[in-house]
Amino acid sequence: NLVETAKELAAFSAVEKHVTKDIRVLGVGSGSTVVYAINKLKELLEKGQLSPDLVCIPTSFQSRGLIVDAGLRLGDLDENPDIDITIDGADEVDSKLNAIKGGGAAHLREKVVASASKRLILIADYRKDSAVLGEQWTKGVPVEVTPFAYKAVERKITELHHKNSFQGASASSAAFEFTNPVVILRPAVNKAGPVVTDNGNFVFDVKLGKIHDPASVETVLKMIPGVVEVGIFSNMAEEAWFGKEDGTAYCRS
Ligand code: DER
């Protein structure tokens, strides 16, 4: 279908452009779009177009399984702390390449791997290309929280005010659209109770409406004791590839 083809286009374009023979350590994101990137990597591997030393760093159990099943060499961050490039999906990307991530509850390890990478390339279908975060992705900002603190954190987040809680946002401009956030504990689908991440934590989806100041929102959320990681990647991505409904792909940088 159109969306899957668009994901494949974005993934293929990014891998073909960036995963050349000089790439030795590659960060592999998580989610459904990255599956297509792995398919392209497998093809390049079979054609002998990848570095024989290439090692892939996973960002979740899912991405680890993709790497192993594709016959790519699995590495870990401890032995490869300096990653050449990471290719990862996104739930939404704004005009400045800030991104919402964590739709697949993988954003903690993704942000650590992205942070250890020289370059972060995002891949997504046309539904994720927005001017402002919160325009198309309305499920909220994923926030990983330690179970011990989840009720306390829920209270703190719902008490945030879109202006008063942000120095930068003077009385006139607001950091986000809603006056106060709406906090939802992400329920599991095939398991009773909440989603539990690969790190043993819960996930809140924090609805803010449009996010005018992603960096400030990321910082304020991250500073709440008990919050482990926030699914806003501000000022991290260097380039974003999008597949279009018409079968072409384009990139923003
Ligand atoms: O969970 C995540 O962070 C994923 O990377 C997500 O942001 C993108 O997943 P998708 O490619 O399935 O949309």
Residue to mutate (ligand 1; options 8, 35, 36, 91; most atoms within 8 A of CB): 91
Note the pLDDT tens digit of each residue in 186-203: 999 999 999 999 999 999
Any ligand 1 atom below 6 A from CB of 144: no
pTM of the predicted model as reported, rounded to 2 decimal places: 0.97
pLDDT on residue 167: 77
pLDDT on residue 172: 63
Any ligand 1 atom below 6 A from CB of 104: yes
CB atoms within 10 A of CB 117: 22
Residue 37 CA to ligand 1 center (angstroms) comes to 13
Any ligand 1 atom below 6 A from CB of 6: no
- Whose CA is closest to atom 2 on ligand 1? 102
Any ligand 1 atom below 6 A from CB of 106: yes
Note the pLDDT tens digit of each residue in 155-191: 999 999 999 999 765 556 899 999 999 999 999 999 9
Q: Residue ranges of the chain with pLDDT lower than 50?
A: none
Collect all residues with Cβ–Cβ distance below 8 Å to 146 and sequence separation of at least 6.
201, 202, 226, 228
Query: Catalytic residue at 110?
Result: yes
User: Minimal CA–CA distance to 105: which of 194, 221, 214?
Assistant: 194
Could you say which of 110, 144, 154, 229 is catalytic?
110
Q: What is the DSSP string of the chain?
A: -HHHHHHHHHHHHHHHHH--TT--EEEE--SSHHHHHHHHHHHHHHTT-S-TT-EEE-SSHHHHHHHHHTTPPB--TTT--SEEEEEE--SEE-TTS-EE--TTS-HHHHHHHHHTEEEEEEEEEGGGB-SSBTSS--S-EEEEE-GGGHHHHHHHHHT--TTTT-SSS-SSS-SBSSSS-EEEE-B-SSSSSB---TTS-EEEEEE-SSBS-HHHHHHHHHTSTTEEEESEETT--SEEEEE-TTS-EEEE-
Any ligand 1 atom below 6 A from CB of 243: no
pLDDT on residue 171: 55
ipTM: 0.97
Q: Which atom of ligand 1 is nearest to the CA of 29?
A: 5
Collect all residues with Cβ–Cβ distance below 8 Å to 78 and sequence separation of at least 6.
none
- Which phi and psi angles does 35 have, rounded to 5°? -55, -40
- Whose CA is closest to atom 9 on ligand 1? 31
pLDDT on residue 70: 97
pLDDT on residue 170: 53
